[in-house]
Chain A
Amino acid sequence: MEKRKTFVKDVDRTLYDMKDTGADSYRVSKGLTKDIVAEISAMKDEPSWMLELRLDSLKTYHSLSMPEWGPSLHELDMDNLITYVRPNTSLKENWDEVPGDIKSTFERLGIPQAEREALAGVGAQYDSEVVYHHIKEEMIRQGVVYTDMEAAVKEYEPMIREYFMKLLPAKTHKFLALHGAVWSGGSFVYVPQGVDVKIPLQSYFRFNAPGAGQFEHTLIIVDKGAKLHFIEGCSAPKYNTVNLHAGAVELYVREGASLRYSTIENWSKNMMNLNSKMALVEKNANMEWVSGTFGSHITMLYPASVLNGEGAKTEFTGVSFAAEGQNLDTGTKVVHAAPHTSSIINSRSISKGGGVAVYRSAVSVLPQAHHVKSAVSCESLMLDSVSRSDTLPVMDIRNDEVDIGHEAKIGRISEEAIFYLMTRGLDEIEAKAMIVRGFVEPITKELPLEYAVEMNNLISMELEGSIG
């Protein structure tokens, strides 16, 4: 076994693997009880297996302890978290029927406009429920399914039952167990064999209630030879109370299929973003993650790809920007479980004003996986001396016939580069913004144009007032 490491110290366990105390310490608490979970299930009029899944998850939740690595989650008061907030509307298929204040929120975020201009379908979730879901006729004719998860549980019950929380079971960690118990909302997508969905589908998650949790579940199956680009956007207004986001994303990319899953996350800075994402990638299939993390107080997010079939590929492209009061612990996990599989990981993180940006990844090559290729590049840029960056790339290689490349860099923004740009007329903020935009360019060039623009705007916004 070969184990490579660069910088600082190793993570002592795999990313999702957390300590199971083994004790069945089921206990009823103010925040989360069997009754609440049963009520959620009843309200959604769910089949009994789903209620059982919820109750089992709840037991698991109470038996698991909090993670012992990564950022401190002590501010999270699990007993006082309102797990479920139902917006005052039912699911609509026409924006005109969505209540005014909710609709105007999405209008401000540009979602209906984006739908008209560039998307094949849109789902919009407000707090715990999906308030809007629409897919273009043409997609329906090709057999593409895009619906909210509640409806999917009923309409596509056998499929959901087969796949729901199978990649990410409740026992994986405490927050997935919580998710299993109280999940609400999210999207289900099925792309039939050979169908190429040429324009992206988008789900947008908006969080409005203070002190609440959002636990949407996204399940996507891209069947053999099919293609899909799915975009996920997230935001929330700022409250003084801590909010929790513990969604789950399960992706099945079947033989020869490709899926690109893009996220630009700009949660407000009181959000605990403890999201779980995993893709199962079959023979000759291709999974691409594009992940931008700008918001939240604390994020722990490591989208995972299990390369399960020969010739499967994955690419992870990630950027995070940690400003004052933020601790963004992000990265990815790749399991090479089959021969001739390949992975490319490209990550950039920026920290300023005392923010903490940690890159954490785990690439493992299982004994049967020969002729694996993997290239990891992670770079961190600190904009001042009070910010912090760490890179913790872990590799666990159990086959000798592999081609592994690794590059990690941590640096501070160069004063000389700022001076150089200032001699060309840029003021200090403009100079820094240009350097940061250049630093994340390998990421932005991978994004659809409107997202690249949004990312550059977020960078400029983050840098304003950063001089002091």
Chain B
Amino acid sequence: MSKLLLKVQNLHASVEDKVIIKGLDLQINEGEVHVIMGPNGAGKSTLANIIMGHPNYKVTEGSIYFEGEDITEARTDERAKKGLFLSFQAPEEISGITMENFMRSSRAVLSGEEVKAYAFHKELMLIMDELQMDRNYAVRHVNAGFSGGEKKKSEILQMLVLNPKLAILDETDSGLDVDAVKTVSSGINQFKNSRNAILIITHNTKILDKLHADFVHVLMDGKIVKTGGTALIDQIYETGFASMESISGK
């Protein structure tokens, strides 16, 4: 049986006294791809931030476990070291630091080992070639002046370089043209194996054309109201999120 990676149990969370997550449960095993869909404002990005320990959100009830360990109170960098990764919807720009130096520093702190510059460079170039990314990105400053699509590719590149156990992809497909979606999904496919897992947060499904999802969850008003297979996606497309609300008995 595959190992349980993430367990979110009866999670309640708020930001500045506004309750956003209202009793959410979620379990993700190794080798699985999960999709969370939901209308705008349902709390999808909030959930991603809370799993990573964003300081602005307060968990008021419930727990988050990773590989059996309670990480509800853990610092963000500790969660990263345990193998959690978030691909941001709008990644920050850090000027003055090259992508390569940034990723090498990150690899070093995550692994706790020295990372040899030349070996890392060779590996990075290989991954960038596979992602069909211009090698010049390695010497550009972190996300600085990147277009929306370039930023998303940069996040996927980091995921491949840092090789986490659980990658949360927040709206990775939004704002991408057809070619970029193709590149990004092939990157995700390349990453995926039986020892890791992916949680995709999205409000459309372009990215799922190329990617098999094991579970689809519908998140509405801070709760998962329905879970199913890919058939659920078609249902959402036919009837919209509004129909889910009635299913949830609201």
Contacts and interface: CB of A to CB of B under 8 A. Distances in A.
B75 A427 contact: yes
Q: Name the residue among A417, A422, A435, A439 with the largest chain B CB count within 10 angstroms.
A: A422
Interface string B95-108: 11100001001100
Interface string B24-41: 000000000000000000
Interface string B62-85: 000000000000011101110011
B120 interface: no
A438 B94 contact: yes
Contacts of B8: none
B96 A424 contact: no
Interface string A406-450: 000000001111011111111110110011011111100000000
16 contacts: A416-B92, A419-B55, A420-B94, A422-B77, A423-B77, A423-B84, A424-B109, A425-B77, A425-B80, A426-B106, A428-B77, A430-B77, A434-B102, A434-B105, A438-B97, A439-B96
Contacts of A415: 55-56
Contacts of B81: 425
Contacts of B54: 419
Interface in B162-219: 162
Given A422-B80, A423-B86, A434-B97, A414 B106 contact: no
Contacts of B86: 423
B46 to A, nearest CB: 13
Q: Name the residue among A419, A423, A434, A437 with the largest chain B CB count within 10 angstroms.
A: A423
Contacts of B75: 422, 427-428
Interface residues of A, number: 24
A423 B76 contact: yes
Interface string A142-165: 000000000000000000000000
Interface of A: 414-417, 419-428, 430-431, 434-435, 437-442
Q: Name the residue among A420, A424, A439, A441 with the largest chain B CB count within 10 angstroms.
A: A424
A434 B86 CA distance: 19
A217 to B, nearest CB: 36
Given A423-B52, A427-B77, 13 more contacts: A416-B92, A423-B77, A423-B79, A423-B80, A423-B88, A424-B109, A424-B158, A425-B77, A425-B110, A425-B162, A426-B106, A438-B95, A438-B141
Nearest to B82: A425
A425 B52 contact: no
B91 interface: yes
A441 B76 contact: no
A390 to B, nearest CB: 22
A427 to B, nearest CB: 5
B157 to A, nearest CB: 12
A401 to B, nearest CB: 33
Nearest to B168: A423
B96 A442 contact: yes
A317 to B, nearest CB: 14
Contacts of A424: 80, 102, 106, 109-110, 158, 162
What size tier do the contact residues of chain B reach?
20 to 34
Contacts of A437: 96-97
B229 to A, nearest CB: 30
Nearest to A430: B109
A406 B18 CA distance: 42
Nearest to B91: A420
Nearest to A438: B96
A426 B77 contact: yes
Given A420-B91, A422-B75, A425-B106, A441 B80 contact: no
B65 to A, nearest CB: 18
A365 to B, nearest CB: 31
Nearest to B108: A425
Q: Name the residue among B85, B92, B110 with the largest chain A CB count within 10 angstroms.
A: B92
A421 B94 contact: yes
A233 B97 CA distance: 27
Given A417-B94, A435-B94, A439-B95, A426 B109 contact: yes
Contacts of B94: 417, 420-421, 434-435, 438
The 10 closest A-B pairs by CB, nearest first: A438-B96, A441-B96, A422-B76, A424-B106, A425-B80, A425-B110, A420-B92, A438-B97, A425-B109, A417-B92
Interface in B92-139: 92-97, 102, 105-106, 109-110
Contacts of A420: 88, 91-92, 94
A10 B97 CA distance: 34
A312 to B, nearest CB: 30
Interface string B45-58: 00000001011100
A425 B162 CA distance: 10
Q: Name the residue among B75, B96, B106 with the largest chain A CB count within 10 angstroms.
A: B96
Contacts of B109: 424-427, 430
